Amino acid sequence: MKKILIFLLLFAIALFSIDRVAAYLYLPKQGSTEVVIYSTSWCPYCKALRNTLNQYNIPFTEHDTEKSFQGFLGFWALRGTGVPVSVIGEQVIYGYDGQAITDALVDAGYEIPLDWPKQE
C-alpha cells in the first residue's frame, strides 16, 4: 500500500511539473506580437482562420494538436476544449471569433485592411 501511495505522489508531482513547464512555454508573454494557432487538418474553422491570415499576409505559426506533441502540449497548456485556439500577442482566443481575432491583431500592432472579415 505504501508503494502505491508513493507512486501516486510521484506521478502527481510529474504531471504538475509537466503542466507548469507547458504553461511557461505556451502561455502568451507580455509584449508579444506573435500569432500562433493550434488547429487540426479537418477543422473548417481552422482552415478559414489559416486562409484569412494568409490572405492578409499575417505571419503565424501553426501547430496541429493531433499530429504534433508540441501542438498537443500547447493546446493542453492553454486549456483548449476545441479548435482553433489562437494566441495573438498577449491574448488567447478560443474558436473562430472574427471580432475577437481582429481586435487581438490590432492590439498586437497589425494593420488590418478595411475589407477584413470581422464576423463569419
Q: What is the DSSP string of 62-108?
A: EEETTT-HHHHHHHHHTT-SSS-EEEETTEEEES--HHHHHHHHHHT
- What pLDDT sits at residue 112? 85
Give the model confidence (pLDDT) of 33-75 as tens digits. 999 999 999 999 999 999 989 988 999 999 999 999 999 999 9
**In terms of residues, how long is the chain?**
120
Residue 24: predicted pLDDT? 83
Domains contained in the chain, CATH given: 2-107 (3.40.30.10)
Tell me the pTM: 0.83
| CA distances, 40 to each of 68, 78, 95 (Å) | 10, 16, 12
